[in-house]
Amino acid sequence: MPAAATALLILAATAGTPFKLGTFERGGRTFPAIVLEDRWVVDIAAANAELEKRHPDWKRVAMPSDMKGLIARYDDGLGERLRVIAREAAATPRGVAAQERTALRVRPPVLQPETMVNAAVNYVEHGAESARISPTATPTASPSPSQSAPGLWERRADDPRPNPYLFLKARSALIADGEAIRIPPGRDRIDWECEMAVVVGRPADHVPVDHAREHVFGYTLEHDVSDRGGRGDSRFGSDWLVAKSHDTFAPVGPFIVPKEFIPDPQNLAIRFSLSGTVMQDSSTARMTHTADEMLSYASNILTLRPGDIISTGSPAGVGSARNPPIFMKPGDVAACTIEGIGTLTNPVAGAEEKVIALVAFPDLTLLDLVGPLQVLKALPAPYRTVVVGATRDPVPTDSGVAVTPERTFAEVPRPYAVIVPGGPGSVAAMASDAVQDYLRAAASGAEVVGSVCTGALVLAATGLLDGRRATTHWAYSSELEKLGARYVRERWVEDGKFITAGGVSAGIDMALALAERLTDRATAERIQLGIEYDPHPPLGGIDWSRVGDAERTRQRQGGTGRRLEDAGRLLADRPDLLRRLGIEAKGDASPRGRER
């Protein structure tokens, strides 16, 4: 940062440094932070620890782990400590636990607000344009003979305004700055509404308007994405659930500005642009009911709690009111800007793919991969099945045929499902940082986590199968149990979202069962017919009474068994696994072993 800019920041600090607050994620850790200049992010826990170490005479202040905790304690001494941290960070932006915003993932400022309520038609001009579109489905914003609503809204005799109108926005619609607004399948009339939102700071229950500001923590932005496509009939008038609460229809953020830095929330410029073209350009002064009035009204209906969000309505300029109408489409970029609060930017995309990731690693068994792959590749949209690897370089298999991953682990960080094949390379994969880290991260959000044959050993090495029922190739059941799973000798086994198959044909059975679960029986049967898979072995089922130690020994002479004999070297980087398996380490793993 230039010296002159730093000097200005130091000068500003003496008068109280303005700051914003946000929630961020890095390395799987989510944390609240101070934001300076929309660029510098200060981890409040790390910064506070550093300052308390520098000033041992200071009173110790515990830092909250999330935004709700921060909001609840802000007026009880925490706010003052945050102001000190902000001053210190402004003076030395590259110190005091500060890092660039671009190095972090921005999350919604409040991850789980208990209540999200939105104002309908709270700008006069928007009320007029809405009435032109759908005169019967929209609350009027024009002067009307409205009456008081006892217990909710008491009208003055000289007040010509209609009563406030609020609706609930589903919390599941919440997304962050930078995340994609997804156009739902079959819905092509998706509109924009750029709004100022109030973040509640203190519990509010039947709060008078003149005390409402005491319950405000700060202000943020909400893009109230709206589906104008209707429900196909006119039952009970308009359908607010359909119109407002599809997944991704509530971008909020990027940050919260504490109210102390917004002296007049009713006099802020508000602007929305779509792919660079300005569509809304107004001022919060044009609201029919103020933010304080909306908080008061909402508190007469339900108890508001710290972190709750009240979005105060959209100005005129929505796409559905234009002639011809304009709606958002995949490829657009939506940007909502409010003076003094910031800019909320979200790309617009089609319906989200549900990616099923089959993990590739060196020396996997080709049939373990291809069996489930040919089944799951046939699933209809939104499912997409891809082979993923640490890189896109060809991966050798046990058959001598190389498999080229379609995407890297980094390109599919949060798959809908992840499946691990087996093979001789599964032993080295148990110690591969790339494979193990990916499985742990992917499994945390995946709906299905599966394996074929000795792929279960790779899963078990992550700790994901600890205490769970699972299966693998029967010759390696003892290793699976030593790694913490409960071995079950079945073709495939389900335990919660984990599904493991014992071998090649069982992997196909598992994949067909998964196809039926994700779609329907008819689809799964069509897939089975398409690959001509008839699960009736020509030699009949296995007579397990005739399978003894001699056959187990013979089976373990294959590739995986030979690799286990070398596990002391291949797993040298994982002494925890060696201890579980009862194997002695044999020096450091070779670079090739670590890669695998």
The residues near 456 (Cβ < 8 Å, ≥ 6 apart) are 420, 422, 465, 470, 471, 472, 480, 485, 500
The SS3 assignment for 450 reads: strand
Say which residue the tokens 């090495």 belong to. 461
**Same structural domain, 327 and 363:** no
**pLDDT greater than 90 at residue 84:** yes
Distance CA 182, CA 33 (A): 28
Range of the domain at 420: 354-581
Cβ–Cβ under 8 Å, residues 397 and 366: yes
Q: Decide which of 314, 349, 384 is a domain's last residue.
A: 349
What whole-number percentage of the chain has pLDDT above 90?
70
**Same structural domain, 93 and 160:** no
The SS3 assignment for 216 reads: strand
- pLDDT, tens only, 401-446: 999 999 999 999 989 999 999 999 999 999 999 999 999 999 998 9
Q: How much is the average pLDDT of 87-115? A: 86
Neighbours of 536 (CB within 10 A): 6
DSSP 499: E
Check residue 91 and give its pLDDT: 83
Q: How much is the average pLDDT of 473-481? A: 95
**pLDDT greater than 90 at residue 174:** yes
Q: In which band, very low, low, confident or very high, does the pLDDT at 143 lie, cut at 50, 70 and 90?
A: very low
User: Is there a domain that residue 159 lies in?
Assistant: yes
The residues near 82 (Cβ < 8 Å, ≥ 6 apart) are 19, 21, 34, 44, 70, 74
First to last CA, the chain: 43
**Same structural domain, 279 and 141:** yes
**Same structural domain, 232 and 367:** no
**Same structural domain, 379 and 460:** yes
**pLDDT greater than 80 at residue 96:** no
Query: In the Cβ-directed half-sphere of 533, how many Cα atoms lie within 13 Å?
Result: 21
User: Among 49-63, 135-149, 377-391, 561-575, which is the least confidently predicted range?
Assistant: 135-149
Paired with 272 in beta bridges are 280, 336
Quote the distance between the C-alpha of residue 85 and its chain's center.
29
User: Is there a domain that residue 596 lies in?
Assistant: no
Q: How much is the average pLDDT of 470-474? A: 95
**pLDDT greater than 90 at residue 382:** no
- pLDDT, tens only, 440-463: 999 998 999 999 999 999 999 999
Cβ–Cβ under 8 Å, residues 373 and 360: no
> Among residues 113, 137, 319, which one has the least CA distance to residue 222?
113
The SS3 assignment for 274 reads: strand
Q: In which band, very low, low, confident or very high, does the pLDDT at 2 lie, cut at 50, 70 and 90?
A: very low
Distance CA 42, CA 24 (A): 10
- pLDDT, tens only, 203-215: 999 999 999 999 9
Check residue 145 and give its pLDDT: 62
Check residue 192 and give its pLDDT: 96
**Same structural domain, 132 and 190:** yes
User: Is there a domain that residue 443 lies in?
Assistant: yes
Distance CA 100, CA 22 (A): 13
User: Among 15-24, 96-105, 535-544, which is the least confidently predicted range?
Assistant: 535-544
Q: In which band, very low, low, confident or very high, does the pLDDT at 194 lie, cut at 50, 70 and 90?
A: very high
Vertex 120, ends 114 and 125: CA angle to 5°? 145
- pLDDT, tens only, 282-299: 999 999 999 999 999 999
**Same structural domain, 507 and 373:** yes
Which ranges in 166-247 belong to alpha helices (H)? 240-244
Q: How much is the average pLDDT of 155-184? A: 92
**pLDDT greater than 80 at residue 97:** no
Check residue 138 and give its pLDDT: 53
Amino acid type, 21: L
User: Is there a domain that residue 455 lies in?
Assistant: yes
**Same structural domain, 190 and 304:** yes
**Same structural domain, 271 and 328:** yes
User: Is there a domain that residue 232 lies in?
Assistant: yes
The SS3 assignment for 238 reads: coil
Check residue 92 and give its pLDDT: 75
Check residue 278 and give its pLDDT: 97
The residues near 120 (Cβ < 8 Å, ≥ 6 apart) are 138, 139, 165, 166, 167, 313
**Same structural domain, 369 and 435:** yes
Q: Assign residue 410 the CATH number of its domain.
A: 3.40.50.880
Check residue 497 and give its pLDDT: 95
Q: Residue 359: which H helix or E strand, with range? A: strand 354-359
Q: Decide which of 84, 105, 126 is a domain's last residue.
A: 105
Check residue 5 and give its pLDDT: 34
The residues near 94 (Cβ < 8 Å, ≥ 6 apart) are 1
Check residue 141 and give its pLDDT: 47
**Same structural domain, 220 and 271:** yes
Check residue 9 and give its pLDDT: 35
Distance CA 302, CA 310 (A): 12
Distance CA 522, CA 532 (A): 15
Q: In which band, very low, low, confident or very high, does the pLDDT at 226 lie, cut at 50, 70 and 90?
A: very high
The SS3 assignment for 129 reads: helix
Paired with 200 in beta bridges are 216
Distance CA 457, CA 442 (A): 17
**Same structural domain, 284 and 199:** yes
Q: Which residue has the higher pLDDT, 591 or 253?
A: 253
Distance CA 224, CA 313 (A): 8
Tokens at residue 61, please?
């202040």
Q: Assign residue 72 the CATH number of its domain.
A: 2.30.30
Q: Decide which of 85, 105, 125 is a domain's last residue.
A: 105
**pLDDT greater than 90 at residue 395:** yes
In the structure, how many helices (H) and strands (E) does the chain have?
19, 30
User: Is there a domain that residue 591 lies in?
Assistant: no
In terms of residues, how long is the chain?
Answer: 596
**pLDDT greater than 90 at residue 7:** no
Which ranges in 27-66 belong to alpha helices (H)? 44-54
Vertex 198, ends 194 and 199: CA angle to 5°? 125
How many domains does the chain contain in total?
Answer: 3
Q: In which band, very low, low, confident or very high, does the pLDDT at 591 lie, cut at 50, 70 and 90?
A: very low
Longest dimension (CA), the chain: 96
> Among residues 67, 55, 62, which one has the least CA distance to residue 25?
67
> Among residues 89, 109, 114, which one has the least CA distance to residue 13?
89
Name the average pLDDT for the chain. 89
Neighbours of 151 (CB within 10 A): 9
Distance CA 512, CA 527 (A): 8
Check residue 94 and give its pLDDT: 61
User: Among 102-111, 126-135, 142-151, 473-482, which is the least confidently predicted range?
Assistant: 126-135
The SS3 assignment for 542 reads: coil
Cβ–Cβ under 8 Å, residues 86 and 36: yes
